[in-house]
Every structure is written in C-alpha cells, then in structure tokens.
C-alpha cells in the first residue's frame, strides 16, 4: 500500500525542446530560466562550453545542451533560453531551443528507456514520459553534465 502511494507521488519536470524532440529535467534541480545572456567564451574550451556569464554578480558556466547531446538545433533560435540548474551545489546554465511547460505526472507514468537507437546516449536518460500524444525524454542531468568530464578535460589542458 505504502509503495503504491510512493509511486503515485507527483513529479514535476520542466519540459523543453532540443531540435525536434522534447526533453525534461526535474523541476527541483532548476533554479531559474533566463534569456540567453552575453557570454565570454573559455579559451580552448570544448565546443559545447559556451562560456561564462554574469548572473547578478555570480559567475556561472553556460553549456549548450544541444551541442553536448549532439542534437541539431532548431530553426532560428528565437525562443532560445538558458535554464540555470543546481546540481550538487554546482550552478550551470544550459542553452535549450525553447521552454515548453512544467509537466506533472506520477512515477508510474515513466516508461523505461526503450531499446531503440537514439541520438542521445542511454545513460543520459532516466526514462520517457508519454503524455498528450507526445514523448518527453527525461534527462539525467548529472550524467549529462558529468562534472568529472569537464574536470578530466582540465587535466588534458594541464
């Protein structure tokens, strides 16, 4: 019984578009959404690393999620936005094609990752939510933005 209750708990995800596909991240990890700011590129940085930005006096790294996941970006980028997420105390900005909405659903609505060839590496995906005739891929941001990856990049430079 208790287990049932747990799975019925509501989950809130922020849904956004990358290319033609919808993706979503857990709302609790999202701090805010802003328009794409002026960024300062990091010399010799990886191509998905857009640069650093000034968020009210705090310096935050900005990553292009589309380049990171090797997804071709959509159209003209008029709706581009930056989602500021907080992952284990690290704040990072993610550029996405457009912000859609906040999804509410219970854990039982999440389908396991289907065994299909996809552009996105399977370890980046928590699951898939199927709602309103559209699929949303739930991203596991901590894996996507593997901080160790960036750190190992540091070592390469050093």
Partner 1 sequence: MQTVLGQRRFTHIQDDLTNKSIAQMSKLFKEVQELSMSLRMLPIKNSFQKMERIIRDCSKLLGKKVKLHLVGEETEVDKTVLEHIADPLVHIVRNAVDHGLEETEQRVEAGKDQTGNVEMMAFHEGNNLVIQITDDGKGIDPEVIKNKAIEKGIIQNASTMTDGEIIQLIFHPGFSTKDEVTDLSGRGVGMDVVKTNIENLGGEVKLASKLGEGSSLKIILPLTLAIIDGMVIRSGLQQFVLPLGQVFELIRLEYDDINNIPGVGQLFNIRGEVMPLFTINGKLGQKINSQNQSEIVIIIRGLRHAFGVSVDDVIGQQQIVIKKLGEDIRGLKGIMGSAIMGDGKPSFILDLYELFKDDLQSNKSYSKLLNANESAA
Residues 56-75 that bind partner 1 (CB under 8 A): 57-61
* HSE of 18, CA atoms in CB hemisphere, 13 A: 25
Q: Which stretch binds partner 1 (CB under 8 A): 5-13, 25-33, 41-49, 111-119?
A: 41-49
Q: Which stretch binds partner 1 (CB under 8 A): 25-33, 51-59, 107-115, 136-144?
A: 51-59
Bridge partners of 11? 105
Rounded-to-integer distance, Cα 103 and Cα 10, Å? 10
**Minimum CB distance to partner 1, residue 156 (Å):** 10
Rounded-to-integer distance, Cα 154 and Cα 103, Å? 36
User: Using an 8 Å Cβ cutoff, are 124 and 139 in contact?
Assistant: yes
Q: Does 47 bind partner 1 (CB under 8 A)?
A: no
Beta pairing class for 81-87 and 58-64: unpaired
Q: What is the dihedral of CA 142, 64, 91, 152, to 10 degrees?
A: 60
Select from 28, 102, 107, 147 the one that contacts partner 1 (CB under 8 A): 147
**Minimum CB distance to partner 1, residue 146 (Å):** 10
Select from 28, 90, 107, 122 the one that contacts partner 1 (CB under 8 A): 90
Residues found near partner 1 in the complex (CB under 8 A): 38-44, 49, 52-54, 57-61, 89-92, 145, 147, 150-151, 154, 157-158
């Amino acid at each position: 019984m208790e287990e049932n209750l747990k799975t019925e708990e509501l989950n809130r995800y922020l849904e956004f578009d990358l290319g033609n596909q919808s993706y979503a991240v857990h709302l609790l990890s999202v701090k805010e959404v802003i328009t794409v700011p002026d960024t300062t590129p990091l010399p010799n940085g990886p191509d998905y690393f857009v640069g650093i930005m000034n968020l009210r006096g705090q310096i935050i790294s900005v990553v292009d999620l589309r380049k990171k996941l090797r997804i071709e970006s959509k159209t003209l980028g008029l709706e581009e936005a930056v989602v500021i997420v907080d992952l284990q105390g690290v704040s990072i900005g993610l550029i996405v094609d457009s912000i859609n909405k906040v999804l509410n659903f219970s854990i039982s609505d999440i389908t396991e990752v289907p065994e299909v060839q996809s552009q996105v590496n399977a370890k980046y995906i928590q699951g898939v939510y199927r709602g309103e005739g559209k699929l949303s891929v739930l991203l596991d941001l901590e894996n996507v933005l593997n901080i160790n990856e960036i750190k190992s990049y540091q070592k390469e430079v050093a």
